[in-house]
Chains A and B, each alone.
Chain A
């Protein structure tokens, strides 16, 4: 009798497990991926067939995440997501298609696909396969510089008339072929190569456009603009009022001046020792001075 009850209980538990989605301990989904070929060239489509099988006796909603990354480079393609609705025991194939860009570095790539739960918090399965991309060109990383000295220790965008302008570039790619066109404010152009220098003779905006090329790399063009002005506007530096004597440091000498006038009344334009400009030289001014005591206020 007891044995019969135990068998019945086991059967009930098994039946519940089969009928309750997500609770079945043996429920599963599987993923497999494939490509029609393994070598790709620029502008070709990489088609990845992603086959998902729902072995569960109930329908499920799942997500597929796919991406391409280069093995020998830092290139990582964007992740693409697909929602897949599967009936019980259904098998579906979804194609992930991505195009080989001319700028993708040549070499071995990994295509990775993950099968995720509906809330995308759990990875149910993961597949990878390897492909090769050929015939693409690397990107040239280049930065154009406008400077005040040959070593480009000071990069500037505004020059004073007749000042020497140094133009140069920085790139981690050695042996670049550089050609440039400098457009002057009057619209005239000059062909240049970098590095170069010349005295600024025209006031206004200059534009430098540079083409950088190298075997195996995609030719790239970059532009910068810089200006030439007649002179630097001189803005006199005025030390704060609490540096009463204007020597650039707030110390006992400022306190001495404040003390000499302490208790006096003042009128506009208020003298510097009436620091807070309230018309009275007193504790309020002393408090401001003490707050800034010891400060160096030179520009």
Chain B
């Protein structure tokens, strides 16, 4: 009877450790985040947002992002590729809507993709803070991201993180 209890305890502990291990593996998944620079901006000035991608062990051959912002406070002035997909990636779509405050942008690497891809910016977006922008904190949201791996298949489970900036007088 005691032996059975011990076996049961061993099984439970083993299962528990396995779950922890699985959780840790998921925690090391691909992530994408918006990184503003600077984080506090004066009215009328420009700032940049990097769409930063951590591929971990994956290769990234292409991607598409959708970003939303408050068009009453800021306007997109430029978007250009980062270094994630090489020096001169192939541009897909680049749709900026400053009325609705949305950006949709896609890029692909030219040539072969080898895993892993180093963490880098997928895109760099420049914003102009409006003179009329009310002061305060503003959210920039990465509303969608799709990434294709070295075999041109979807990378699933990408963790997404937005950003907040502060507009001061």
Answer yes or no: do A and B interact: yes
Contacts A251-B146, A262-B90, A290-B92: A256 and B62 contacting too (C-beta < 8 A)?
yes
Contacting pair A293 B148 (CB below 8 A): no
Contacting pair B90 A293 (CB below 8 A): no
Contacting pair A293 B110 (CB below 8 A): no
The digit string for B91-122, where 1 denotes a CB below 8 A from any CB of A, is 11100000000000011111111000000000
Distance between Cα atoms of A257 and B110 in the complex (Å): 9
A294: chain B residues within 8 A (beta carbon): 93
Contacting pair B113 A253 (CB below 8 A): no
A261 shortest CB reach to chain B, Å: 9
A259: chain B residues within 8 A (beta carbon): 61-62, 85, 89-90, 108-111
A286 interfacial contact with B, CB 8 Å: yes
Contacts A252-B64, A253-B62: A262 and B110 contacting too (C-beta < 8 A)?
yes
Interface residues on A, range: 10 to 19
A121 shortest CB reach to chain B, Å: 54
A289: chain B residues within 8 A (beta carbon): 92
Contacting pair B110 A252 (CB below 8 A): no
B154 shortest CB reach to chain A, Å: 7
A245 interfacial contact with B, CB 8 Å: yes
Q: Which of B62, B111, B113 contacts A252 (CB 8 A)?
A: B62
B81 shortest CB reach to chain A, Å: 12
B36 interfacial contact with A, CB 8 Å: no
Contacting pair A256 B109 (CB below 8 A): yes
The digit string for B7-18, where 1 denotes a CB below 8 A from any CB of A, is 000000000000
Q: Select the residue from A255, A257, A262, A286 with max chain B CB neighbours within 10 A.
A: A255
Q: Which of B64, B90, B152, B154 contacts A286 (CB 8 A)?
A: B90
Distance between Cα atoms of A258 and B85 in the complex (Å): 14
B14 shortest CB reach to chain A, Å: 39
Residue of A nearest to B104 (CB): A294
Contacting pair B64 A258 (CB below 8 A): no
Contacting pair A253 B92 (CB below 8 A): no
B153: chain A residues within 8 A (beta carbon): 253
A97: chain B residues within 8 A (beta carbon): none
Distance between Cα atoms of A3 and B111 in the complex (Å): 112
A260 interfacial contact with B, CB 8 Å: yes
A290: chain B residues within 8 A (beta carbon): 92-93
Contacting pair A252 B90 (CB below 8 A): no
The digit string for B129-148, where 1 denotes a CB below 8 A from any CB of A, is 00000000000000000111
Within 8 A of B (CB), among A257-293: 257-260, 262-263, 286, 289-290, 293
Chain A residues at the B interface, C-beta cutoff of 8 Å: 245, 251-253, 255-260, 262-263, 286, 289-290, 293-294
